[in-house]
């Protein structure tokens, strides 16, 4: 030990690593301490790394990682929304089609197997139904109310319909229907 109470190695260390002291405002000190603690360092370690350029490099890498993460997340969200929208649209169409079929489709039981026979627009059964309603003079309830008539089976019109239907479904001699 020397007269001033320190070992010779301590004097050599102090000579090679002199202390630096400077003043900063309270806000700057708080900011420095937050930046250092975010990196898991003391303020002195942070300043030394900053002087060596390590902090800037580390912050640049952190920014690149954060930007990459944010961009990846945003792209993933965008793709997820698009996929979700497309899937939802497909499912909605299927469900809407099914509901529309249940609510609006016209069917009757097959006279042979009793399974449902669905009537499609402009097929033969649809044509027969149209002729039935046109021949019998059926219409909207509001229209028949205005004229003072009602949608009911008029025997004379029913006979006319049956004649028209017979002509439509009669077989030719070769066995093919008209």
Q: Are 94 and 83 in contact (CB under 8 A)?
A: no
Element (H, E) at 146: helix 141-147
Q: Are 36 and 45 in contact (CB under 8 A)?
A: yes
Contacts of 132 (CB under 8 A, 6+ apart): 161, 165
CA dihedral 6, 10, 12, 17 (to 10 degrees): -130
Q: What is the pLDDT of residue 177?
A: 42
CA distance 35 to 65: 18
Q: What is the pLDDT of residue 152?
A: 64
Q: Are 39 and 46 in contact (CB under 8 A)?
A: yes
Q: What is the pLDDT of residue 113?
A: 92
Contacts of 36 (CB under 8 A, 6+ apart): 42, 43, 45, 46
Element (H, E) at 113: none
Q: What is the pLDDT of residue 27?
A: 93
Ranges of the chain whose pLDDT falls below 50 = 170-178
Q: What is the CA radius of gyration of the chain?
A: 45
Q: Strand pairing partners for 87? A: none
Q: Are 118 and 105 in contact (CB under 8 A)?
A: yes
Beta pairing class for 116-118 and 107-109? antiparallel
């Amino acid at each position: 030990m020397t007269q001033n109470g320190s070992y010779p190695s301590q004097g050599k260390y102090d000579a090679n690593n002199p202390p630096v002291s400077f003043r900063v405002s309270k806000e700057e000190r708080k900011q420095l301490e937050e930046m250092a603690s975010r990196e898991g360092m003391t303020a002195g370690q942070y300043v030394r790394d900053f002087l060596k350029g390590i902090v800037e490099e580390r912050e640049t890498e952190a920014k690149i990682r954060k930007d990459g993460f944010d961009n990846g997340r945003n792209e993933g969200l965008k793709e997820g929304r698009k996929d979700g929208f497309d899937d939802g649209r497909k499912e909605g169409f299927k469900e809407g089609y099914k509901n529309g079929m249940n609510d609006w489709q016209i069917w009757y039981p097959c006279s042979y197997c009793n399974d449902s026979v669905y009537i499609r627009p402009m097929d033969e059964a649809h044509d027969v139904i149209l002729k039935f309603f046109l021949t019998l003079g059926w219409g909207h309830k509001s229209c028949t109310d205005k004229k003072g008539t009602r949608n009911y089976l008029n025997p004379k019109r029913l006979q006319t319909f049956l004649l028209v239907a017979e002509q439509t479904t009669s077989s030719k001699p070769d066995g093919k229907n008209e």
